[in-house]
Structure formats: structure tokens, C-alpha cells
Amino acid sequence: QKEVEQDPGPLSVPEGAIVSLNCTYSNSAFQYFMWYRQYSRKGPELLMYTYSSGNKEDGRFTAQVDKSSKYISLFIRDSQPSDSATYLCAMEYGNKLVFGAGTILRVKS
Amino acid sequence: DVKVTQSSRYLVKRTGEKVFLECVQDMDHENMFWYRQDPGLGLRLIYFSYDVKMKEKGDIPEGYSVSREKKERFSLILESASTNQTSMYLCASSPIKIGNQPQHFGDGTRLSIL
């Protein structure tokens, strides 16, 4: 079993839709939780960064962490074609990040 | 803004060659990392370094080595390239406090071994 599981998609939605991206994990030692966005032929860029259980909002993006269920989510409101990318969840403990496999998102105009 | 620069975007090499991938960061970060990214597998850590001349193995170090002679530069070396090392290689850096400082990535080197 992988430490971090993420549905690879692809996920295809119409412009304006609410998108939900999810990851589950098995290691309760993970302390920090991140979402990265990766456009084609580019490196991952940090979108959201959270520590505790609960919600964190930044513009159209909301990151949710449920440590009791070992489940994290990223919600994108009013999705735009420019949101089309691969979204990677990542979790940290000690000196290392463990990444999900990434979900490919396509927002159709 | 943090800038992590990888010297080559695309590289084609032959099996058995010794291959060098270079990474430079401009934010005086202590930590530097090398990952490879493969479809369906996500990013996997090859090696990381938390100081000059220091290195630690990641999850998949076999067939690779690293060098960090200067703080800003971290090199990944494929000692004898093989076709299963064809991949996207990503370099990242972060400040010393790993726990609350996320990693910043370069744009990657797409390496093909023929």
C-alpha cells in the first residue's frame, strides 16, 4: 500500500464548476500537508500549505485536512481553463516530502 | 521570488554514459533535493542534502550519486546511464526549517537514455 493515494484522473469539468481533489494517507506521522500545481513542462508550484485539521482558504482555493480520517482535499471554486494542470498532494514528516501520484484536471471552456 | 534553475530542459544520452544534471538556487537555502517524476508514480526522492558536502539517500538512490560543493549548487550524477533512468528529474530547495518551509522546484530536466 502506498503511503499516499491520489486518484490520477483525468478529471474533466466545465468552466465554473466546483472541483474536489482528494488524497488519503496511511502514515499518522505526517504533520504538514501541501498542494502543488504543475503545468505542462513546468515544475510544481506551491498552492496551499496547512498544518492542522480544518480548512484553509486562499481565493478560489480551499484546502481541507481531516487527520482523524487521514484525508485531505483541495476545492477549487469557479474553475477556469487556466486551472487545467496536474495537482499533487504532498505530506511531510522529518526531512522528507511524500507525494501523491497527481491528478490531471481539465477545465473546458 | 525563489529561483531554482536546472541547467538543461531536455537531454538525450546513451546507455553506459556518465550523466550530470545541474541545479542552482539563488535563495541561500540550506536544503536541496533531487526527485524523479514518472507517470502514475508521482515524485520520488533520490537524494537530498542539508548542507555543503552533506548528502542523504532518499527512497530510490540506486544508480545515482550527488555532489554539493557549494551551497547554491546540487548535482545529480548517473554513474552509468540505463534506459530505466529515462524520466523527468526535478530539483528543489528549501530553508533549514523543513517542517514549516515548503520546497521550491525547478522546471525539470527531461532525460532520455537511448
Question: Which sign does the torsion angle of CA A78, A83, A84, A89 carry?
Answer: negative
List of chain A residues whose C-beta atoms are within 8 Å of the C-beta of residue B44: 99
- For position B98, what pLDDT does the model report? 53
CA-nearest of A45, A85, A86 to B104 is A45
List of chain B residues whose C-beta atoms are within 8 Å of the C-beta of residue A85: none
List of chain A residues whose C-beta atoms are within 8 Å of the C-beta of residue B4: 43
Instruction: Tell me how many degrees the CA angle A44-B43-A50 measures, rounded to the nearest 5.
Output: 60
Query: Please, are residues A89 and B102 in contact by the beta-carbon 8 Å criterion?
Result: no
Q: From the CB of residue A94, how many other CB atoms can be counted at a distance below 10 Å?
A: 10
Inter-chain residue contact A44 with B43, CB threshold 8 Å: yes
Segments in chain A below pLDDT 50: none
Single-letter amino acid code for the residue at B18: K
- Residue B64: how many CA atoms within 13 Å on its side-chain side? 27
Residues of A68-82 as b/e, b for ≥16 C-beta within 10 angstroms? eebebbbbbeebeee
- For position A31, what pLDDT does the model report? 86
- How many Cβ contacts (< 8 angstroms) between chains A and B? 55
Inter-chain residue contact B100 with A42, CB threshold 8 Å: no
Where does chain A show beta strands of DSSP type E? 4-6, 11-14, 19-25, 32-38, 45-50, 54-58, 61-66, 71-76, 85-93, 96-99, 103-108
Segments in chain B below pLDDT 70: 1-2, 97-100
Q: From the CB of residue B13, how many other CB atoms can be counted at a distance below 10 Å?
A: 17
- For position A51, what pLDDT does the model report? 84
Single-letter amino acid code for the residue at B25: Q
